[in-house]
Amino acid sequence: MRILFFLLCCHLAAGASIAREPEADNASRPGVFLITIDTLRADHVHCYGYDQIRTPALDLLAEQGIRFTQAFTPSPITNSSHTSIMTGLLPSSHGVSDFGVPLAAKYPTLAELLAKGGYQTAAFIGAVILDSKNLAPGLDRGFEFYDNFPEITKTKSRWGRLERRGMEVEQRAESWLNTHPDGTHFVWVHFYDPHDPYEPPPPYSEIYKARLYDGEIAYADSALGHFLAYLKKQGWYEGAMIVVVGDHGEGLGEHHEDTHGIFLYDSTTHVPLIVKLPNEREAGRTVEGQVRTTDIMPTILSLLGIAAPANLDGDSLEQFLIGVEAAPRTVFGETEYPLRFGWAPLRSIRKEDFKFIEAPKPELYDLRADPGESHNHYEPWDGTVQKLRRALAELSVKSPPAVGKTSPAAVSASTIDELHALGYLGSADARSATDVPEPSLLPDPKDKIEQQNLLRTATMASEEGEREKARAALEKVLQLDENSALALTQLGRIEMASGNYAKAASYLRRAHVASPNDTTDAFEYARALELSGDLAGARDVLLASLKLNPDQFEAQLALGRVYLGMNDANAAEQQFEAAVLLQPGNSEAQIHLAKTLLHRKKFTEAVELLEAVAEPSNRNPEIFGLLSQAYAGLGRRQEAQRAQLRAKAPQNAKQSQ
Ligand SMILES: [Zn+2]
């Protein structure tokens, strides 16, 4: 570390604020601005040699900073990738291998370390995928302000509910900085725009009419340009360290992958990385050596003279920044996203111009001769294969694969809906798929990618209300795999939404048979049976599912309802009681139980239940209506009248007391 600082001191202009001794105090440290641009392929940026686009902001940063031509993310999935940027760890080390998996407190984040170093920290995200309330728990650690999405939104539009346009994210960052102008800042800004669906606003929608993905990139670049202009206006730009990086790329049909997440080819792992140092030091340098996004955190820390945590997977890039020769870094790749579909997870290693992908059908590419990774040269006895396979095995020993390791926080149904609306697929308890004994026994995603594209098309079409388009795509999936639980479930949902309950039940039955342990599938199947009038069938499915996992609130309520429909009030009462026990504060469960008690003329028990929840603060008129009935049943007429008054005008609770 000392030597590196010495090199940095010699090489940089005298008085370089970034080259202070490690014990430098915060007053002398530069502001740090980290900008992540979602779904940004390196080869779709102008300064990376793509001449069909204008990205003046990125180009300017490259001119005034250091551009890494060969930077790679270890993960093609937003949450895992961002967590790697923030922790300097591979997904298999930090454990955030899926949406909703909390980042364990034992892994320090960049924000946390900079906050400890006296920085004012804030984060501005462009999609709910990074919301720390549900889909990215723990990623907000160390941020004084983390700009999550509102819990409840009335809008049906995706804007403001699921996504924020780049300009809105930028404006929110400006507003915060305007109200927190003092001190030294660490601000992370996330532009989500290039992520699909590709819907750039005008004029980008016109200029890039034929290439809407590029239009989104150009638009995100314009938002970045606004942010840089703001930093200049504030007088913060010159002295700041600015890092811009893509979280992953986009398939764009290469290797038959439309978007990202399933594969580990360069199309989705090669990202732009640009570092602008304070006072434009090393301006215009390009670094050709292979580096990783896990190197970003240790680089920022070492440039600031803040000690990095031990055992990081990444390493500081100081030597690269100052042009001192440095050996290319070994790039590892990991994706567990295929597990959401029941397909094998993948791992890769990119080293010395070769890439080896560990899969049920392994792959080896000679990147110098075949940068598009189109000719698989895998042979088990090949020396390169053996060497790279050994290196991957060593990594597994260092951090064992995440199979069964972490489970996501209880992900709510609305969160699952949000994921679907963003085009991510898979069932609510996708992690149960990771309990497979041997990933290589699962299908190779290469053989399944067409299905994934169709499922994604269907999900997005459903979200847009285009049912016919969704149906057609899903039928195609069933032609490829008649037992695709995901396709069957989605078809069932479409029929449910159209009111075709019997048809829905027939799809959902097949989905249930294909994945008998999926409680979400079972619940939806039972609901379709209930609505199509087959109450006994619904009862049997719910009973079996509750036997598998008794803690299913919605299933208990549904079973209670089904029993009521079958005139078995005794069994219904038991179910509603169980539901109230599971969620004591849930008024839906309370109301169901109270109604059943009243139906059974158990007035004393009903009064007991309802009095306990009929506090002055309770604004639910139904509770008071039922309480009135219960009092009346016991002949307590005055109390019945008072409760009735509150049922009619709960807002006047005080007067009627
Ligand atoms: Zn992403």
Question: Is pLDDT at 8 greater than 80 in this prediction?
Answer: no
SS3 241: strand
pLDDT at 21: 43
When pLDDT is averaged across residues 582-588 and rounded to a whole number, the result is 89
Pairing of strands 120-124, 32-37: unpaired
Quote the ligand 1 centre to 107 CA distance (angstroms): 21
* Distance separating alpha carbons of residues 545 and 92, to the nearest angstrom: 32
* pLDDT cut 90: percent of the chain above it: 78
* Distance separating alpha carbons of residues 132 and 126, to the nearest angstrom: 12
640: number of Cβ within 10 Å: 18
pLDDT at 151: 84
Quote the ligand 1 centre to 196 CA distance (angstroms): 10
Residue with the two structure tokens 């170093």: 117
Beta bridge partners of 163: 127, 159
Quote the ligand 1 centre to 191 CA distance (angstroms): 9
How does pLDDT run across 78-105, given as a tens digit for each residue? Answer: 999 999 999 999 999 999 998 899 999 9
Query: Which distant-in-sequence residues (6+ apart) come within 8 Å of 491 by Cβ?
Result: 471, 474, 475, 478, 507
Q: 579: closest CA among 547, 555, 545, 614?
A: 555
C-beta separation of 323 from 103 below 8 A:
no
Q: Dihedral sign for Cα 21, 292, 146, 66, please.
A: positive
Amino acid present at 256: H
Quote the ligand 1 centre to 130 CA distance (angstroms): 9
Quote the ligand 1 centre to 309 CA distance (angstroms): 25
Pairing of strands 66-72, 270-276: antiparallel
Question: Is pLDDT at 515 greater than 90 in this prediction?
Answer: no
C-beta separation of 456 from 488 below 8 A:
no
At residue 423, what are phi and psi to the nearest 5 degrees? 95, 5
Token reading at 588: 């839906």
Q: What angle do CA 67, 71, 72 make, to 5 degrees?
A: 160
Band of residue 422 on the pLDDT scale cut at 50, 70, 90: confident
For residues 295 and 413, the model is more confident at 295
* Distance separating alpha carbons of residues 202 and 583, to the nearest angstrom: 48
Q: What angle do CA 229, 232, 237 make, to 5 degrees?
A: 115
Quote the ligand 1 centre to 266 CA distance (angstroms): 15
Residue 613 belongs to what H/E stretch? Answer: helix 603-613
Quote the ligand 1 centre to 78 CA distance (angstroms): 3
* Distance separating alpha carbons of residues 66 and 19, to the nearest angstrom: 16
Q: Dmax over Cα atoms in the chain, in whole Å?
A: 93
Q: 650: closest CA among 609, 622, 626, 627?
A: 622
Quote the ligand 1 centre to 302 CA distance (angstroms): 26
* Distance separating alpha carbons of residues 68 and 285, to the nearest angstrom: 9
Quote the ligand 1 centre to 576 CA distance (angstroms): 42
Q: 417: closest CA among 497, 345, 479?
A: 497
C-beta separation of 576 from 592 below 8 A:
yes
* Distance separating alpha carbons of residues 108 and 535, to the nearest angstrom: 52
Quote the ligand 1 centre to 81 CA distance (angstroms): 7
Judge if the upstream peptide bond of residue 150 is cis by omega within 30 degrees of 0: no
Quote the ligand 1 centre to 336 CA distance (angstroms): 15
Query: What does the chain come to in residues?
Result: 657
Quote the ligand 1 centre to 252 CA distance (angstroms): 14
Quote the ligand 1 centre to 193 CA distance (angstroms): 10
Query: Which distant-in-sequence residues (6+ apart) come within 8 Å of 126 by Cβ?
Result: 38, 163, 164, 165, 166, 169, 190, 191, 192, 193
When pLDDT is averaged across residues 588-610 and rounded to a whole number, the result is 94
Amino acid present at 311: N
pLDDT at 427: 52
What is the rounded (10 degree) CA torsion for 73, 78, 82, 88?
-40
* Distance separating alpha carbons of residues 593 and 572, to the nearest angstrom: 8
How does pLDDT run across 190-242, given as a tens digit for each residue? Answer: 999 999 999 999 999 999 999 999 999 999 999 999 999 999 999 999 999 99
Question: Is pLDDT at 22 greater than 60 in this prediction?
Answer: no
Tell me the CA distances in angstroms from 453 to 424, 460, 534, one per residue in order.
11, 11, 35
How does pLDDT run across 444-466, given as a tens digit for each residue? Answer: 999 999 999 999 999 889 888 89
Beta bridge partners of 285: 66
Quote the ligand 1 centre to 135 CA distance (angstroms): 13
Residue 546 belongs to what H/E stretch? Answer: helix 535-548
Quote the ligand 1 centre to 423 CA distance (angstroms): 12
Quote the ligand 1 centre to 408 CA distance (angstroms): 19
Secondary structure letter of residue 449 according to DSSP: H
Q: At what angle do helices 212-234 and 56-64 cross, to 10 degrees?
A: 50
Tell me the CA distances in angstroms from 580 to 455, 538, 592, 628, one per residue in order.
37, 21, 9, 21
Average pLDDT, the chain: 90
Amino acid present at 495: E
Band of residue 628 on the pLDDT scale cut at 50, 70, 90: very high
Question: Is pLDDT at 373 greater than 60 in this prediction?
Answer: yes
C-beta separation of 91 from 75 below 8 A:
yes
pLDDT at 216: 98
Quote the ligand 1 centre to 195 CA distance (angstroms): 7
In the chain, the N- to C-terminal Cα span, in Å, equals 72
Q: 455: closest CA among 472, 430, 477?
A: 477
pLDDT at 438: 61
Band of residue 399 on the pLDDT scale cut at 50, 70, 90: low
Pairing of strands 120-124, 145-147: parallel
Question: Is pLDDT at 38 greater than 90 in this prediction?
Answer: yes
pTM (2 d.p.): 0.83
